[in-house]
Amino acid sequence: MIRFRRFVSAMLALIIAFTMTACGSSNKGSTPEEDEDPLAYLNGQFRVGMECAYAPNNWQEATATETNVPIFNVPGAYAEGFDVQWAKIIADHLGLELVVIKMDWDGLIEALNKGQIDAIIAGMMDTAERRQSINFSSAYHETQYGMMVNAGSPFENAVSIQDFSGASVLGQKDTALDTVIDQINGVNHLPGVSSVPDMVARLQQGTCDALVINMENAPGYIATNPNFVAISFEEGNGFELPAKGACVGIRKTDDYLLSLVNEALATVDQAERDAMWDTAVENQPV
């Protein structure tokens, strides 16, 4: 009988203890996981990769200003441009310190997936091939593709991309600037080069007949190279693009970060976006 009473007493004590613990948890109002900062793994920084060589989207400067940002891996250099201003807006929205890291274009996606950077903000287009490796935000800038030739070129008066049949056409490798060239029947599709400055140099040297370009970048190219002529095409005569324009690249595991990036992009209306772009075009190096 005594043993039975002791057993009952022990059970009552356990029940009371369990009830008090449960009450304590409900008073807290959230689980420990909910109290944690979901961006804590970023360690207070938003590390963004870009080429710093794709004006007016992004370029490198030697002097600090009120609007540029130090390049983390290039001492004494600063990143400026349209993409940089977007990176600042997103970092501010996240409450994180912006860190810009200069990288070659063809290494950006690998660096993102290896955790060397947290986002790609480099005028990158959302394509089906890239989406196999990473996710993309909504577009922060829309684009239109055209062609660039030297003045006096036999292709200067082209009105359709098909007028470039037989031409030697160059683009930037691993981008749509290169892949869309195959939409031209009978084209001599030259092997893509690593950067837009490389493309421009080849056209200057006359080793190609034409470049595929983002038409919104044309004024900057022509300001530096007055002999260049930009050619745009009416709808139906131009390139079919895989996406509308530039997006932020984010790791597939970072769904919450992606949602916050899209929130940040949505805070900027079209008038502000246009003003940001116009400022970048005006201030780009010549």
**Looking at the structure, do residues 68 and 104 belong to the same domain, yes or no?**
yes
Q: Return the CATH number at 215.
A: 3.40.190.10
**Looking at the structure, do residues 45 and 138 belong to the same domain, yes or no?**
yes
**Looking at the structure, do residues 124 and 196 belong to the same domain, yes or no?**
no
Return the SS3 of 134: coil
**Looking at the structure, do residues 62 and 46 belong to the same domain, yes or no?**
yes
Per-residue pLDDT tens, the chain, 286 aa: give them: 444 344 434 444 443 343 333 433 333 333 345 558 999 999 999 999 999 999 999 999 999 999 999 999 999 999 999 999 999 999 999 999 999 999 999 999 999 999 999 999 999 999 999 999 999 999 999 989 999 999 999 999 999 999 999 999 999 998 999 999 999 999 999 999 999 899 999 999 999 999 999 998 898 889 889 999 999 999 899 999 987 889 999 999 999 999 999 999 999 999 999 999 999 999 998 7
How many helices and strands in the chain, by DSSP H and E?
Answer: 10, 15
**Looking at the structure, do residues 178 and 116 belong to the same domain, yes or no?**
no
**Looking at the structure, do residues 138 and 46 belong to the same domain, yes or no?**
yes
Q: What pLDDT shows up at residue 95?
A: 97
**Looking at the structure, do residues 167 and 134 belong to the same domain, yes or no?**
no
Domain membership of residue 131 (yes or no) is yes
Domain membership of residue 35 (yes or no) is no
**Looking at the structure, do residues 138 and 248 belong to the same domain, yes or no?**
yes
Structural domain including 75 reads 40-142+244-283
**Looking at the structure, do residues 194 and 151 belong to the same domain, yes or no?**
yes
Domain membership of residue 20 (yes or no) is no
Inter-CA distances, 276 with 56, 81, 82, 85, 209, Å: 10, 9, 6, 8, 32
Domain membership of residue 239 (yes or no) is no
Domain membership of residue 19 (yes or no) is no
Instruction: Give the total number of structural domains in the chain.
Output: 2
For 51-167, where are the E strands, in sequence order? 53-54, 58-61, 69-70, 78-80, 97-102, 119-125, 135-136, 141-142, 145-150
Structural domain ending residue among the three candidates 231, 256, 271:
231
Phi-psi region of 2 (alpha: psi -120 to 50; beta: other; left: phi over 0): alpha
Domain membership of residue 21 (yes or no) is no
**22-49 burial: b if 16+ Cβ within 10 Å, else e:** eeeeeeeeeeeeeeeeebeebeeebbbb
Structural domain ending residue among the three candidates 231, 253, 271:
231
Q: Write the single-letter amino acid at 107.
A: G
**Looking at the structure, do residues 262 and 199 belong to the same domain, yes or no?**
no
**Looking at the structure, do residues 68 and 118 belong to the same domain, yes or no?**
yes
Return the SS3 of 73: coil
Inter-CA distances, 192 with 103, 132, 266, 277, Å: 18, 22, 34, 27
For 222-250, the DSSP string reads: HHH-TTEEEE---TTTSPPPSSSEEEEEE
Domain membership of residue 32 (yes or no) is no
* pTM score above 0.85: no
Both tokens of residue 267? 């805070």
Domain membership of residue 63 (yes or no) is yes
Among candidates 151, 148, 117, 149, which has minimal Cα distance to 134? 117
Among candidates 261, 241, 266, 231, which has minimal Cα distance to 249? 261
Among candidates 52, 80, 78, 51, which has minimal Cα distance to 64? 78
* 230 burial via Cβ count (<10 Å: 0-12, 13-18, 19+): middle
**Looking at the structure, do residues 207 and 220 belong to the same domain, yes or no?**
yes
Both tokens of residue 175? 């981008």
